[in-house]
A and B are shown apart, each in its own frame.
Chain A
């Protein structure tokens, strides 16, 4: 009887985790089911769509360039900080830096460095001159997109490299490299980078899949003519006529082909780079270009400064600053905050509600997935659990939207929470997997010798030791949910508004001051979550943290 109950419980558990982890794949498959019959003429019309080729190539370029740039920068930063006393500071600041939403970084760059931007104007103002427009960062362009994504992804890759670094004998390899006559910089590139590059495949794919189908920042800072592919596809997906529905189906197919191309390019880039580095290793090349890495000792300062500058800019705009004003002539007031508070309460409550429940559920399902794998001794590969961040969001959410409509689902926060769940789950899994799997089992063995049952040990030892990592996972899952745009918009059909959907809607217009208010609130939510998590984690003593994987 007991065995039967255990089997039933395990099966129910597997069913829950399979449903959550499998939802992205389900969405993609449903999205590939044509809602209207597709003819050859439809295919021809699809390919004849004005600007499609540029749209696709531009998107591929961004999806390839931005994550790779971020990975290289992150590696150079990592190589400069890893054995430096400042590493501890950097590791502590990584999570809050990671919590800054993409939207805030993208718009922050525009507010600061576009023509009319604060830094841009201030710099030229120093010389008493008016800045030429062409020199500023374009408000909507490929360059702005690449910069925004790559700057934002550097902390993500640093987190990945930091976790990888703990499993590699980097210190000994560098010592060997130096004993053989190489500089430390050359040793990092020739000995450490090839291994880290191979192990960063999934992270690269996640960043590329994100860049491929990101909608909010594509709408706001991506090029206009032609628009980026995510915007074009979204317009088809939300269209009602047969032509748009046919294009939505073919567009989804195209998005997956683009993802396939990106996967091939990840392997191609890896093969090329490792081969080049291997040739340099065989030739004992001193690899002087590695000196460039030294420039990145300034990264922590730069990124912190940029974050502060972005937040200050938004604050100034929200208090009455504009492109025409100076500090003395600006009409400073709180009125915008007071006015907007009335409109903001609903979306803010929705954001909090959705993020709270989806992050809690995401972490709970993650624990279940990890526990089931441990109990059944069946470890599934990471990509199975991380499909939500490895597959293009637009394709999967489109499939969910079709299903949601088919089920005559209501436009309520419950459905939005469900649509955020795969993402909060995937990120929680990324954070918790290491601490959970490498937890020293001797603690539980000792507890067992004292007569504690399995579940008592689980709760009183394992869970308690994992509390700091659980808090980090909750904070990350919360920020992931707050920043979700596509699922909220498509499943909520615009009827469930959150701070993020409102911020994007307002930023699409010309109201920079109101946009600043919403972006600040959007950025504040994850920051507060991380602050609470770090305060609570500091109160827990003798526990096992994500940092000690």
Chain B
């Protein structure tokens, strides 16, 4: 469960007092609002990134464990951005292997070796009928394939929550709608609480919660 409370965002132009947010396993919150209001900044704050152009305060907890004192790599929160940033020097399997936890063990309790980790990655791709891109490099993938591989890579890391910053905005409307519904199903299936920033109000999955930042915005100018 991801919970955010007492959150205040101060930007040059105004401030936002967010209501308390609680996302249970598999729930999705879609954040909308005009450009420059601080949606992406809010995501980066949850992730633990350094915020330079706004002041954000508040409490974040994941499964009742406070996250504020932890750095990005300790939080175990996944991130999916518009440009998925698949690492260009690694093929699809190795991109996924990179995300698999270091301590991943097999049924015998022993740490997996290289080929076993690659097998896990291939299984993940096969499960979504994308085994055919296993050996492809990121520049050989279409936009939709990249987004799906990006999500699978993020999930391979077994994150406790996932943040998505307009992950499907670069896709054409039809593919965007299909991939976002597919992504939501994947997240629900795996029980990962997620927050997604989106400009596309029409394509919000029906089961998702919706928060429009503009509702809580107070201009200071």
- Could you tell me which A residues sit within 8 Å of B by CB distance? 169, 172-173, 175-176, 178-183, 190-191, 194-195, 198, 274, 278-279, 281-286
Q: List 5 A-B contacts (CB under 8 A).
A: A169-B85, A175-B47, A180-B154, A278-B90, A282-B114
A173 touches which of B78, B85, B99, B114 (Cβ 8 Å): B85
On whether A179 and B97 interact (CB within 8 A), knowing A173-B85, A284-B102, the answer reads: no
For residue B76, CB closer than 8 A to chain A, the reply is yes
CA distance A526 to B70 in the complex (A): 49
Instruction: Write the chain A residue with the least CB distance to B89.
Output: A194
Task: Report which of A183, A191, A274, A282 forms a contact with B118, defined as CB distance below 8 A.
Answer: A282
A283 touches B114 (CB 8 A): yes
Given A282-B94, A282-B118: A180 touches B99 (CB 8 Å cut-off): yes
Q: For B213, what are the chain A residues with a Cβ–Cβ distance below 8 Å?
A: none
Asked if B72 is at the interface (CB within 8 A of a chain A CB), the reply is yes
Contact of A190 among B76, B79, B98, B114 (CB under 8 A): B98
B73–A181 contact, CB under 8 A?
Answer: yes
Shortest C-beta distance, B116 to chain A (Å), equals 10
B114:A175 contact, CB within 8 angstroms: no
Residue from A183, A191, A284 within 8 A of B87 (CB atoms): A191
- B47 cross-chain contacts in A, Cβ below 8 A: 175, 179
Chain A residue with minimal CB distance to B156?
A: A180
Q: Does B92 contact A (CB under 8 A)?
A: no
Residues of chain A within 8 A (CB-CB) of B118 are 282
Q: Report the bound CA distance from A284 to B71 in whole Å.
A: 19
Residues of the A chain whose Cβ atoms lie less than 8 Å from the Cβ of B76 = 181
The chain A residue sitting closest to B162, CB to CB, is A179
- The chain B residue with its CB closest to the CB of A279 is B114
Within 8 A of A (CB), among B90-128: 90, 94, 97-102, 104, 113-114, 117-118
Say how far B153's CB is from chain A's closest CB, in angstroms.
8
Q: Which residues of B have CB within 8 Å of A180?
A: 78, 98-99, 154, 157
B interface, CB within 8 angstroms of A = 47, 49, 71-73, 76-79, 81, 83, 85, 87-90, 94, 97-102, 104, 113-114, 117-118, 154, 157
Q: B94: which A residues are within 8 A, CB to CB? A: 278, 281-282
Contact A282 B101 (CB under 8 A): no
CB proximity of A197 to chain B, nearest CB, Å = 9
Contacting residues, chain A, for B78 (C-beta < 8 A):
179-180
* Among all A-B residue pairs, the 9 with the closest Cβ atoms: A178-B72, A179-B79, A284-B102, A282-B97, A194-B89, A281-B98, A172-B85, A180-B157, A178-B73
A169 close to B83 (CB less than 8 A): yes
A176 to B164, CA, bound (A): 12
Decide: A284 near B72, CB < 8 A? Known: A179-B77, A195-B89, A279-B114. no
Smallest beta-carbon distance B112→chain A, Å: 9
- Residues of chain A within 8 A (CB-CB) of B85 are 169, 172-173, 175-176
B101 touches A181 (CB 8 A): yes
B115 to chain A, nearest CB (A): 9
A281–B101 CB distance below 8 A: no
- Could you tell me the distance between the alpha carbons of A69 and B14 in the complex, rounded to whole angstroms? 51
Name the residue on A nearest B47 (C-beta). Answer: A179
What is the bound-complex CA distance between A196 and B117, given in angstroms?
26
Q: How far is the CA of A283 from the CA of B104 in the complex (A)?
A: 9
Which residues of chain B are within 8 angstroms of A182 by Cβ–Cβ distance? 73
Q: How far is the CA of A279 from the CA of B97 in the complex (A)?
A: 10
Give B78's nearest chain A residue, CB to CB. Answer: A179
Most buried by B among A175, A183, A198: A175
CA–CA, A249 to B117, complex, Å? 55
- Whose C-beta in chain B lies nearest to the C-beta of A179? B79
- In the bound assembly, the distance between CA atoms of A283 and B118 in angstroms comes to 9
Cα-based distance from A279 to B100 in the complex (angstroms): 13
Residues from chain B with a CB closer than 8 A to the CB of A181 are 73, 76, 101-102, 157
A502 CB to nearest B CB, Å: 49
Chain A nearest CB, measured from B120 CB (Å) = 11
Select from chain A the residue with minimum beta-carbon distance to B50: A83
Q: Which residues of B contact A173 (CB under 8 A)?
A: 85, 87
> Quick one: given A172-B81, A179-B77, are A281 and B90 in contact (CB under 8 Å)?
yes
